[in-house]
Structure 1
Amino acid sequence: MEPFRLVVMISGFGSNLQAILDACADGRLPARVALVVSNRKEAYGLVRAQRAGVPTLYFPLKPYREQGLDRTVYDRDLAEQIRPFRPDLIVLAGWMHVLSPAFLDCFPGRVINLHPALPGMFPGTNAIRRAYEAYRRGEISYSGCMVHLVTPEVDAGPVLAQAIVPILPEDTLETFEARMHEAEHRLIVEGIRRALAGLAQEA
């Protein structure tokens, strides 16, 4: 059986991308990364992809904004750039851009996202910092991360996998963030595995 084709979309350092590449290489995922997309040219994740021999696509939003084009135009064009790679699954692994139905409708049920918070907690950006600050105010004692199907509503799609990460009394933001990233690296692989298992049942 041919490996499933993944397109991974990133905006930054790419440590979750590396976890995916490693899991594909050692057989934990029956897949290969067919393309890595970034909306930031300086994203180190592009370097990781190139070192692994994976094609990359830099596709910035800024030119669209400068032309006064609607966000949906960018999303539609982005989908057209990705479509030739025939992705079985698109994985948002630190992609800092909300995707509209103009993109999602091109790949129905095949876009998943890793978010560093539990369902219903801290949607949107800076979730780790917001969780830590809530802990310091005595409002929570733990946070976590989840992998979910992407819907137009931010960080609110059906959950494929989740993990709780306690916030310890001795934690600084940095130590808590490091443990969150460790949990993310494990969970993104599990979330992809479950998504692919669902696709295999549909086939």
Structure 2
Amino acid sequence: MACNITVLISGSGTNLQALIDAQSQGKLNGNITQVISSSDTAYGLKRASQNQIPTKTHLLKNYYKGTTKDQIEIRKEKREQFNRDLANLIINGSIDSKLEKNNYIPPKLIVCAGWMLILSPTILEPLEKAGITIINLHPALPGAFEGTHAIDRCWKAGQDGEIKQGGVMIHKVITEVDKGEPILVKELDLIKGESLEQYEERVHQIEHIAIVEGTNKIINELSNNL
């Protein structure tokens, strides 16, 4: 049986498109059965719909309605509720875990392809209990430039002569941001005098390869462990 995949996105969805293209060419060892976006304006939603892939949105801004930024504890709890509901959405097909699943089949694998929100233990622990693996694409090498703006920081370090290589990795998602076990790593030489835009383009090109290869690799590992 093919591995069902849920892809999490927040933006344009170019890495999602790489997965869709691989699937249409018979080069993906699983089926993308749904796409969930943290933004209702993400172009990736259109990419999915154009390929007859069901989509859902799960918007943090809806949870923060009626609060102000200085209401730290209230917003913290609302963020945790967002995570609990996201776990239910993935596992049960609905944020209300009491609702009937209506033939919903949960994924075996979640691929974060430009998902811009941190996933806390509130979502990771239920997914683990449900036997769902979650992986992420990060545009830096293991142990380097965790978190946001990784491409910019890596490029600057290269231009400053601090490092000679950048790259991308596919890794398992754990509580510590971008510190999960690497599944696949691809290195890129940093070129002195190269513009940030040029380096960013090279990163994106290798991302589109890495996300397919990394997804296939983890699916093969999951199949071997059955």
User: Which residue in 2 is equivalent to 1:82?
Assistant: 90
Task: Give the partner amino acid of 2:27.
Answer: R
The answer for unaligned runs of 5 or more in structure 1 is none
User: Which residue in 2 is equivalent to 1:176?
Assistant: 199
TM-score where L is the length of structure 1: 0.95
User: Which residue in 1 is equivalent to 2:98?
Assistant: none
Of 114, 117, 124, which aligns to 1:94? Answer: 114
Q: Within 2, Cα distance between the matches of 1:120 and 1:184?
A: 18
- CA displacement, residues 61-105 of structure 1 (integer Å, 9 cap, x when unaligned): 012223535122111101111223410100001000000111111
Q: Within 2, Cα distance between the matches of 1:61 and 1:192?
A: 27
- CA displacement, residues 124-176 of structure 1 (integer Å, 9 cap, x when unaligned): 01100111111121111220000000000000000100000112234211111
Q: How many residues align structurally?
A: 202
User: Which residue in 2 is equivalent to 1:72?
Assistant: 80
Q: Within 2, Cα distance between the matches of 1:65 and 1:166?
A: 42
Q: Within 2, Cα distance between the matches of 1:112 and 1:29?
A: 15
Percent identity of paired positions between Structure 1 and Structure 2 = 41
Aligned-residue RMSD, C-alpha: 1.2
The answer for unaligned runs of 5 or more in structure 2 is 68-73, 94-104
2:149 pairs with 1:126: yes
2:125 pairs with 1:105: yes
Kindly report structure 1 stretches of 4+ aligned residues shifted beyond 2 Å. Answer: 65-69
Task: Choose 175-184 or 100-109, whichever is displaced more.
Answer: 100-109
Q: Within 1, Cα distance between the matches of 2:155 and 2:181?
A: 25
2:175 pairs with 1:137: no
2:221 pairs with 1:198: yes
Q: Within 2, Cα distance between the matches of 1:172 and 1:141?
A: 15
2:30 pairs with 1:22: no
Task: Give the partner amino acid of 2:127.
Answer: F
Q: Within 2, Cα distance between the matches of 1:106 and 1:5?
A: 18
Task: Choose 14-23 or 67-76, whichever is displaced more.
Answer: 67-76
